[in-house]
């Protein structure tokens, strides 16, 4: 099988999975800036094609939002695929090194906290859901 065809299928499946979970995909720097500057809380899932994204991060992203409190906006950028959009999103993650997969919680365009790759890789989806919901408890309003 041709590697590029295989990877195209993997990328498309990863995009579909996170969008079906309720996240809006941001593919341009302009859409990132417009979205992250909005008032309220925003959870950014930095998607990737690695195993811990598919086995832990995306399942956690889908499950964590079924909770009493959650961010006003749920968005995703795709590291390694939508490079300019991901770079733009990372400009908002001041104090944190680039990390994918990862989650960033922002309020009014300012970073509050991140769940970085080292907090995802080697952990179960339930552990990551718990980390995200702890952030929701601390920073988000009831839905």
Among 14, 44, 50, 104, the active-site one is: 50
pTM for the model stands at: 0.94
140 is catalytic: no
The residue ranges of every structural domain in the chain are 3-139
* Residue 8: per-residue pLDDT: 79
What is the three-state SS of 66-122? Answer: CCCECCCEEEEEECCCCHHHHHHHHHCCCCCCCCCCEEEEEECCEEEEEECHHHCCC
| 3-139: CATH architecture | 3-Layer(aba) Sandwich (3.40)
| Residues 34-64 pLDDT 10s | 999 999 999 999 999 888 999 999 999 999 9
| Residues 90-124 pLDDT 10s | 999 999 999 999 999 999 999 999 999 999 999 99
Confidence of residue 9 (pLDDT cuts 50, 70, 90): confident
Among 52, 54, 109, 121, the active-site one is: 52
């Amino acid at each position: 099988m041709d590697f590029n065809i295989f990877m195209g299928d993997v990328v498309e499946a990863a995009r579909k999975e996170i969008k079906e979970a309720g996240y809006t995909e941001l593919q341009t720097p302009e859409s990132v800036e417009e979205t992250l500057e909005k008032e309220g809380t925003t959870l950014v899932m930095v998607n990737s094609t690695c195993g811990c994204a598919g086995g832990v991060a995306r399942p956690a992203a889908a499950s964590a939002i079924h909770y009493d409190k959650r961010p006003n906006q749920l968005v995703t950028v795709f590291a390694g695929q939508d490079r300019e959009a991901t770079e733009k999103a990372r400009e908002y993650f001041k104090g944190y090194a680039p990390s994918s997969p990862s989650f960033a919680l922002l309020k009014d365009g300012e970073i509050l906290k991140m769940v970085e790759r080292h907090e995802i890789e080697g952990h179960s989806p339930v552990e990551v859901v718990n980390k995200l919901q702890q952030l929701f408890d601390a920073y988000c309003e009831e839905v």
